[in-house]
Amino acid sequence: MKQLRPFVDGDWTDGEQSAVARDTYTREPVAEVQSPGRAQVAAAVRAVAAAQAGPSLSPYDRYRILARAGELVLERAGELVESIVTDTGFTTVDARREVERTAQTLLLSGEEAKRLRGEMVPIDADPSRPARVAFTVRRPVGVVCAITPFNSPLNTVAHKVAPALAAGNGVVLKPAELTPLTADLLLRVLLDAGLPPGLISVLYGDGPTVGQWLLEDEVPAYYAFTGSTAVGEHIQRTIGVRRAQLELGSLASTIVCEDADLARAAQLCVNAAFRKAGQVCTSVQRLYVHDAVVADFTAALRAALDGRKVGDPREPGTFIGPLIDEQAAERVESWVAAAAGDGAEIVTGGTRSGAVVQPTVLTGVAPDMNVMCREIFGPVVSIRPFTDVDKAIDEANDTPYGLAAGLFTSDIGRALHVAGRLRVGTVHVNETSSARVDLMPFGGVKASGFGHEGPAYAIRDMTEETLLTLGP
C-alpha cells in the first residue's frame, strides 16, 4: 500500500496523523495518507515564502518547466488515469479526457509566463504635459494557497498551481481529502520537470484542520479555491483583504428552443448532464425545453440513455461510475424520491445501488423542488417546458448562483437576446452550460464566486501591478 506524506521545504516528511485512502468504487484500501500538524503547516508556508523570495526563475524557465510537465502528463497518462479512477470513481473515458486537458493547461500556463507584461500609461495626455513616461509592470504576489475539489483532481489543481508558478509565485497546495493519489502524481510530474522543490508544498488533510490553518496563516497573499459557496464565504471572512479566486456553487441551466437542432442538442445534453456522474459544477441540471418540442426532446434523451452501462468505472463502455461516496448517492436518491412523491415523473433512472445512481431524467418538476432549486451534484436532469423564452430566462436567473448557461437556437437575434439577459459568467450558444475550453476565462457571478480560471486570466489575478514613472 502506498504511503503519501506531506511535501515540505523540498522533501517528504512524516505527518502527525494518518488515514486510509480507499478506492471509490471497490472500497479497497489503496494508501496511507499522512496529514501535518499546525506547526508543520506553518513551516510549509514559510518554506515556500522563503524560496519564492530568493533567486527567481526567468519567464523562459517557467515556460520550460511547465511545458515539460505537460509532456510528462501525457507520457504518464496511464498512471494518472488509474489514479483519477481510484480517487473519484470516474470512468476511464472521463479520466483520460481530464489528463489530456491537464497537459494543455500546463502548456498554456507556460506559454503565458512569456507573455506577462504591463502597459504604457499616456500621462503626457494630461494638460500639464509632465516630462515623464509611465508604465506598469506585473510582479508575483508571493505565496498562492490552492485548495482544490475532488471532482477534478488533476485539471482543476493544474488550473490553480500552474498559473501561480507561471506568474513567479510559490504554491502551497491542499488537495481534496478524497483525492490524494492524483495530487501526489502531479507533484512528482512538476518536480521531474525541473520545478525547484522549495517552490511548492503539498499538504494532505481535511478542511476544518489543515484548510483552516492555511486560512489563518498570515503569509499567503492569494487563495485559489473551488468548492461550495458556504466554504467560499468562510474563506473570504477569514482572509480579510487578501485576494482570492473563488469558484463556488452552481445551478446550471440550458435552454432548448423550438428551432434548435434537437438531435445534436439531446446528445450534448446527455454528455453534459451525466459525465463524471453529474459531479461537475456546470453539469446540466435544469433543462428548459420549448413546449412544441419537449415531447420529442424528452424521448431523444431517454433513447440516448437506454442500455447505457453503469457501475464499474474500469470496465470498457461504462457510462457513469459511482458518486464520490454512498452518502452523496443516498442524498441524490432522496431528492429524486421526494420530487416523485410531489408529482414529478421519472422518465428513466431514479434507482441506486450503493454509491451508483442510474442516470435520471425527470419531468413534471416544480421550481421549489430540491432537484430544481438546489445543486444536486449527481446524475439527474430535470425538464421544464416553456412557451415564452423570457419566462424561461427569468426562472433560470432565479437562483443565488450564476456560473454558466447554455442555449440552443438557430435564431441569432434570439441568441443575443437570451445571452444578454442571462446573469451568469458564461453563456454558450448551441452548446450546453458544461462546455469549456481550458484557455478561456472561467468564473461566475453572484454566489458562484469571483475571479477567473484560464491561464492568461488567472496569471493576471495572481500578480500585482505596479506603476512606474520616469523623468529627467
Distances, alpha carbon 93 to alpha carbons 179, 265, 321, in Å: 18, 21, 11
Q: Is 373 helix (H, G, I), strand (E, B) or coil?
A: helix
C-alpha atoms less than 13 angstroms from C-alpha of 115 in its C-beta half-sphere: 11
Q: What pLDDT score was predicted for residue 196?
A: 98
Q: What pLDDT score was predicted for residue 366?
A: 98
Q: What pLDDT score was predicted for residue 129?
A: 78
Q: What pLDDT score was predicted for residue 100?
A: 98
Q: Is 133 helix (H, G, I), strand (E, B) or coil?
A: strand
Distance between CA 183 and CA 389 in Å, rounded? 44
Enter the C-alpha cell of residue 372: 430544481
Q: In this structure, what are the phi and psi dihedrals at residue 261, rounded to the nearest 5 degrees? A: -75, 95
Q: What pLDDT score was predicted for residue 334?
A: 98
User: In sequence order, which residues have a C-beta less than 8 Å from that of residue 151 and are 6 or more positions away?
Assistant: 88, 276, 279, 280, 281, 324
Is residue 373 part of the annotated active site? The answer reads no
Enter the C-alpha cell of residue 316: 470498457
Nearest alpha carbon to residue 383 among 263, 260, 268, 273 = 273
Q: Roughly what angle, to the nearest 10 degrees, separates helices 59-75 and 92-113?
A: 160
pLDDT tens over the chain, length 472 residues: 899 999 999 999 999 999 999 999 999 999 999 999 999 999 999 999 999 999 999 999 999 999 999 999 999 999 999 999 999 999 999 999 999 999 999 999 999 999 999 999 999 898 887 889 999 999 999 999 999 999 999 999 999 999 999 999 999 999 999 999 999 999 999 999 999 999 999 999 999 999 999 999 999 999 999 999 999 999 999 999 999 999 999 999 999 999 999 999 999 999 999 999 999 999 999 999 999 999 999 999 999 999 999 999 999 999 999 999 999 999 999 999 999 999 999 999 999 999 999 999 999 999 999 999 999 999 999 999 999 999 999 999 999 999 999 999 999 999 999 999 999 999 999 999 999 999 999 999 999 999 999 999 999 999 999 999 999 8
- In this structure, the number of other CB atoms found within 10 A of the CB of residue 296 comes to 13
Q: Which of 145, 258, 281, 333 is catalytic?
A: 281
Distance between CA 26 and CA 81 in Å, rounded? 16
- In this structure, the number of other CB atoms found within 10 A of the CB of residue 264 comes to 12
Q: Whole-prediction pTM value?
A: 0.96
Q: What pLDDT score was predicted for residue 224?
A: 98
Distance between CA 134 and CA 119 in Å, rounded? 9
Is residue 79 part of the annotated active site? The answer reads no
User: In sequence order, which residues have a C-beta less than 8 Å from that of residue 379 and are 6 or more positions away?
Assistant: 273, 274, 277, 278, 320, 332, 349, 357, 358, 359, 360
Distance between CA 5 and CA 17 in Å, rounded? 10
Nearest alpha carbon to residue 248 among 448, 450, 458, 453 = 448
C-alpha atoms less than 13 angstroms from C-alpha of 287 in its C-beta half-sphere: 33
Q: Which of 247, 258, 375, 431 is catalytic?
A: 247
Distance between CA 142 and CA 103 in Å, rounded? 25
**Beta bridge mates, 262:** none
User: In sequence order, which residues have a C-beta less than 8 Å from that of residue 25 and are 6 or more positions away?
Assistant: 85, 89, 312, 313, 314, 321, 322, 355
Nearest alpha carbon to residue 252 among 277, 280, 275 = 280
